[in-house]
Amino acid sequence: MLLRHRTTLQHLLVANPIIMASKHFLPTLKPSFNNKFDKINVFCNIPINSNVKKIGSLSIKPSSGSGSDSLSFSTHASIPRPVSDVYLEKPDDQLVDSPNLKLLKLKLEEIGIACGSCKPGQTYGLLCPMCKGGDSGEKKLSLFIAEDGNEAAWSCFRAKCGWKGITRGAADAKSSYKMMSKVTRVKKVKGLIERDLNLEPLCPDLVEYFSERMISEETLRRNSVMQRRYGNQIVIAFTYRRKGDLISCKYRDLAKKFWQESDTEKILYGLDDIEGASDVIIVEGEMDKLAMEEAGFRNCVSVPDGAPPCVSAKGVPSQEEDVKYQYLWNCKEYLEKASRIILATDGDEPGKALAEELARRLGRERCWRVTWPTKNEEENFKDANEVLMFMGPAVLREVIESAELYPIKGLFNFRDYFGEIDAYYHQKFLAELGVSTGWKAMDDLYNVVPGELTIVTGVPNSGKSEWIDALLVNLNESVGWKFALCSMENRVREHARKLLEKRMKKPFFDVRYGKSVERMTVEDLEVGKKWLSDTFHLIRCENDCLPSINWVLNLAKAAVLRHGVNGLVIDPYNELDHQRPPNQTETEYVSQMLTSIKRFAQHHSCHVWFVAHPKQLQQWTGKPPNLYDISGSAHFINKCDNGIVVHRNRDPEEGAMDQVQICVRKVRNKVSGTIGDAILRYDRVTGQYMDVK
Ligand SMILES: Nc1ncnc2c1ncn2[C@@H]1O[C@H](COP(=O)(O)OP(=O)(O)OP(=O)(O)O)[C@@H](O)[C@H]1O
């Protein structure tokens, strides 16, 4: 006797539509089917012998008793439960009392399946012992007991669980079960039979619907767009094909709800159109694929599952784990031949996330992206079909033709910087040309550029610190710059005195060096103190240990962000903590340290003056030292933007004793200066440096 309404598990899964919304991956929407008989035709008429001999042939289907509203079951909830003719002819007790059935039930109970009053030959919706039906406790475990009561098969239809298995009542038989979701996430079917899907040519109303979206009948025909009836409702059927064979089918009703044949292989829509193509366009939906054809591009495919809400924070998983993008792997051979892939996904955030996920997998270097034209002052058109509808095929063509290279992190073109280059040309960043030091003698040689590193050296007592202080005072007076000071050799009050003398142009005291000039008044001191606190921020290690360069840079960063400082002085290098790993040479250490300083300077547009002493000069002739004489490493001169040697005359016979030589020995940026010497005069009373008249 034949069971007319029995289905195999496979057929059941094929017939269970997985419903999808247009935008994100697989949300659980429910289509509005209402004719049960129509649906039965989808998966019935498969004669199966009622005498189930092999475990493998045991059949199962979701039960109407599940009473659930979830996607797998809802579609068929209204279908009359398939009931065996054999079973109907037999009185209940003949089956219930069989010893094998008792044994079988015992085994099921042991596994956790509460099958108490279940009868052979029927399918039941029970609570899955594995997932407990999720948060809502849905009864999604479908259990089927064979007519002879010897065998049972079950499957949990919750997508997150998928537990399934089979067992027999015989005493020696072992149960076999597995978590479907962990073992095989994508169940492949051998192929859909078009006839079984009851697809029909599009009716005039649907053709009209497409024509309103500027999709012609010719394009619909070429892409085999069909329709399918669900009772009195007709839905669009997008057929997914490979080499002409039907692989999957996606449905769309007029309310824009999507669902598709489940357990079909995931492939790109329009796959045959990109066979052998070197240029491939990828869009986010079937309508966009059809729209591209209207604009003259057949070499276009659509992703089957829409876009993710955002880019995954994790890296690209392995092929097996990459469930959401399985369609790319399944179409690998079609895509790997393409040298140019234009990602024409939607312009919204999920669309951009999809483009990024595709680019990550396909290789950014061969990806391009499009910019959808503006719709009005606030928004852009969102996809190909919208552009086709409102702007026409020529504009859509133009959008594709003007696609730009997909950005690769770290790889740029000058084009990306045109705004900045224009501003530089029009001198919008005045300081970029360098701020004058305040000494005419130096204007052609050295100007201070934000974000650069200046190394200052000179023999002990040459006046390096004095000259830098004087420079800071000048820069503050001329352009209002503020500074972070990490001056380890200076006591705070002494440093304050030196700065105040330069600023107030008066000596702090009226002793020895300042006897000849009136000292600054208490009022001057008050004004000066305010200026000090407005202009300088001190980086100081308050305990006895030496500060490390990273410690200094972190505080300098805080000073930039909190107080907007424009310059940092680190004076001197040898007062920093220079502990380095045992496997690192001093040269490597200095190189790394200077890289950190430069990165800080550039990132924060903060000029850094770094004071470094020369190594002990064996036979010093009184001449200025060389930048290569800096103790530690030649990297000081190699890595700095500017190198300055401060030198003063100590021989009365050689010239005036108050003369100071500022030797500019390196200038990387010709816009800000050049190599050469400037002579300044040092006023010992006020600590000021002045041009020589
Ligand atoms: N041209 C000059 N004539 C006379 N005295 C000067 C001159 N330049 C600097 N000085 C004095 O030399 C002393 C040391 O100056 P400063 O601390 O700036 O030198 P330095 O090069 O930074 O020294 P060090 O290498 O020891 O740190 C100060 O007292 C300063 O007043």
Lowest-confidence pick of 26-30, 250-254, 429-433: 26-30
pTM for this prediction: 0.57
pLDDT for res 46:
26
Q: Hey, what are 323's tokens?
A: 């469930």
Q: Is the pLDDT of residue 179 over 50?
A: no
Q: Are 340 and 266 within one domain?
A: yes
pLDDT for res 189:
54
- For ligand 1, whether the C-beta of 465 sits within 6 Å is yes
pLDDT for res 127:
86
Taking residue 595's Cβ as centre, other Cβ atoms within 10 Å add up to: 12
- What domain range includes position 625? 452-641
User: With bands split at pLDDT 50, 70 and 90, how would you rate the model's confidence at 190?
Assistant: low
Distances (CA, A) of 544 to 487, 568, 611: 14, 22, 21
Classify residue 678: in a domain, yes or no: no
Higher pLDDT, 116 or 273: 273
Q: Are 292 and 221 within one domain?
A: yes
pLDDT for res 172:
60
The interface predicted TM-score of the complex, written ipTM, equals 0.91
The residue to mutate among 456, 465, 499, having the most atoms of ligand 1 within 8 angstroms of its beta carbon, is 465
- Distance from Cα 589 to the centre of ligand 1, integer Å: 29
Classify residue 277: in a domain, yes or no: yes
Average pLDDT for the chain? 82
Q: Are 163 and 207 within one domain?
A: no
Helices (H), 363-463: 384-391, 393-401, 418-425
Could you report the per-residue pLDDT of 50-77, keeping only the tens digit for each?
333 333 333 333 333 333 322 222 222 2
Q: Give the length of the chain.
A: 693
Q: Are 355 and 296 within one domain?
A: yes
User: With bands split at pLDDT 50, 70 and 90, how would you rate the model's confidence at 36?
Assistant: very low
- Distance from Cα 197 to the centre of ligand 1, integer Å: 94
Into how many domains does the chain fold?
3
Q: Are 460 and 387 within one domain?
A: no
Q: Is the pLDDT of residue 289 over 60?
A: yes
- For ligand 1, whether the C-beta of 288 sits within 6 Å is no
Could you report the per-residue pLDDT of 623-657, keeping only the tens digit for each?
888 888 887 778 888 999 999 999 998 888 888 88
Q: For strands 483-487 and 2-3, give the pairing.
A: unpaired
- For ligand 1, whether the C-beta of 571 sits within 6 Å is no
pLDDT for res 109:
82
> What is the position in ligand 1's atom list of the atom closest to the CA of 649?
1
- For ligand 1, whether the C-beta of 662 sits within 6 Å is no
Q: Are 464 and 581 within one domain?
A: yes
Distance (Å, whole) CA 623 – CA 503:
31
- For ligand 1, whether the C-beta of 458 sits within 6 Å is yes
Q: Are 109 and 239 within one domain?
A: no
Q: Is the pLDDT of residue 598 over 50?
A: yes
Could you report the per-residue pLDDT of 346-361, keeping only the tens digit for each?
999 999 999 999 999 9
pLDDT for res 174:
59
- For ligand 1, whether the C-beta of 460 sits within 6 Å is yes
> What's the CATH number where 205 sits?
3.40.1360.10
Classify residue 681: in a domain, yes or no: no
The residue to mutate among 459, 462, 467, 680, having the most atoms of ligand 1 within 8 angstroms of its beta carbon, is 462
Return the DSSP state at 285. S
Classify residue 4: in a domain, yes or no: no
- For ligand 1, whether the C-beta of 660 sits within 6 Å is yes
Q: Are 363 and 501 within one domain?
A: no
Work out the average pLDDT over 477-484.
96
User: With bands split at pLDDT 50, 70 and 90, how would you rate the model's confidence at 5?
Assistant: very low
- For ligand 1, whether the C-beta of 650 sits within 6 Å is no
> What's the CATH number where 490 sits?
3.40.50.300
* End-to-end CA, the chain: 121
The residue to mutate among 457, 465, 466, 688, having the most atoms of ligand 1 within 8 angstroms of its beta carbon, is 466
- For ligand 1, whether the C-beta of 219 sits within 6 Å is no
User: With bands split at pLDDT 50, 70 and 90, how would you rate the model's confidence at 38?
Assistant: very low
- For ligand 1, whether the C-beta of 661 sits within 6 Å is no
> What is the position in ligand 1's atom list of the atom closest to the CA of 659?
1
- For ligand 1, whether the C-beta of 682 sits within 6 Å is yes
Classify residue 23: in a domain, yes or no: no
- Distance from Cα 503 to the centre of ligand 1, integer Å: 18
Q: Are 483 and 351 within one domain?
A: no
pLDDT for res 207:
97
Work out the average pLDDT over 399-419.
90
The residue to mutate among 456, 457, 461, 644, having the most atoms of ligand 1 within 8 angstroms of its beta carbon, is 461
Lowest-confidence pick of 173-177, 565-569, 685-689: 173-177
Q: Are 234 and 380 within one domain?
A: yes
Classify residue 435: in a domain, yes or no: no
Distance (Å, whole) CA 250 – CA 192:
12
pLDDT for res 165:
81
Q: Hey, what are 344's tokens?
A: 């024409």
